[in-house]
Homo-oligomer: A and B are copies of this chain.
Amino acid sequence: MDERQALVAFGALSQETRLRLLRSLVVAGPDGIAAGSLAEQVGVSPSNVSFHLKELERAGLVTARRDARSIVYSAEYDALSGLIRFLMEDCCSGRPEICAPALATPCCQPGEGRRQ
């Protein structure tokens, strides 16, 4: 993940609808969700959801595949972990004390989910 990719990725995550879309896709797992279902879940119009999905795709955070009439999107886990890594490396450059609290996050121990 180079700086340019990170910039685009941050831009993609800075919009409410897109953040919700990505969250749904992460929770859905590798099987993904069809564009239409996503539109219902986040409550926006089909053309608007298409616009934002394209933006997430441009950022490399999701991928699309056709399944019959539907187009199924799924989260790109590698890109997400790459972005976390970019942020950690940027922040920690010379300052490991920044990452330490984040690394204490319990979400990634096996069996743990999102904090309430």
Contact = CB atoms under 8 A, between A and B. Distances in A.
Interface in A1-42: 3, 6-8, 10-11, 13-16, 19, 22-23, 26-27, 29
Contact of A99 (B8, B19, B107): B107
Interface string A79-116: 01111110111111111111111110101111111110
Interface residues of A, number: 51
A88 B84 contact: yes
13 contacts: A7-B16, A7-B19, A11-B14, A81-B91, A81-B101, A81-B102, A88-B102, A90-B114, A92-B112, A92-B113, A94-B113, A96-B110, A103-B108
